[in-house]
Homo-oligomer: A and B are copies of this chain.
Amino acid sequence: MNELRSSPATAESVAADLERAIHEHRLPPGTKLGEDELGEVYGISRTTVRAALQSLAHHRLVELRRNRGAFVAQPTVREAREVFEARALLEPRTARSACQRMDADKLQTLQDHIDAEHAAIDAGDAGRAVYLSGQFHIEIARMADQATIEAIISELVARSSLIIALYWQRRAALCESHAHHALIDAFAAGKDDLAEDLMKSHLLDLVTSLDLRNRTSIPGSLREALSQ
């Protein structure tokens, strides 16, 4: 995406670029992220690449194996459950707070998000739709005016994106935006109790839409290659 930017890429910009690529499933779980390769792509040295990879590793988006290199993380079934457990503790109450601080501008921002989501779905860009769907949750946390919780949710949303890439069973791609619509309605009506409940059940729906049976899709990329 940024191969030919004028100023040299920084560790932060590379990390952001990679994070987005992972988010949008252009870099699927298990992908090897070679340092030389990335350095060549972005026109920077391995030093800077390593800084970016370390940053992503701290967010659990890439796994760093000693003397082996960096790989796009492959959350286990257990991790998947845990991430949504954590989100279930944080997001409903955060949605309530956001509802209490809602105003016309914020409502419009959320509406724009949903519109962009729909546009991505219509364009057949599922990866981008997932990304935007996650951003919707982060935006709500931001509106709750809790920067710390927002940062935590951002991380969990990013990991959720990986989880969706691994465990999503394509049944109804549109159920999500319906839930998001309902949330906006609750926000607009100022019904904070409802917003909290909607978020709670929305997250529950998300988990149940995943295929988290204890099959062996956990470990390395070899299993995936064998199953093809």
Contacts and interface: CB of A to CB of B under 8 A. Distances in A.
A83 interface: yes
Interface in A132-152: 146-149, 152
Contacts of A148: 79, 82-83, 85-86, 156
Interface stretch (A51-59, A173-181, A205-213): A51-59
Contacts of A90: 86, 89-90
Q: Is the interface of A mostly helix, strand, loop or mixed?
A: helix
Size class of the contact patch on chain A: 20 to 34
A128 interface: no
Given A58-B58, A90-B90, A85 B51 contact: no
A23 interface: no
Contacts of A94: 89
A25 interface: no
A63 to B, nearest CB: 14
A86 B54 contact: no
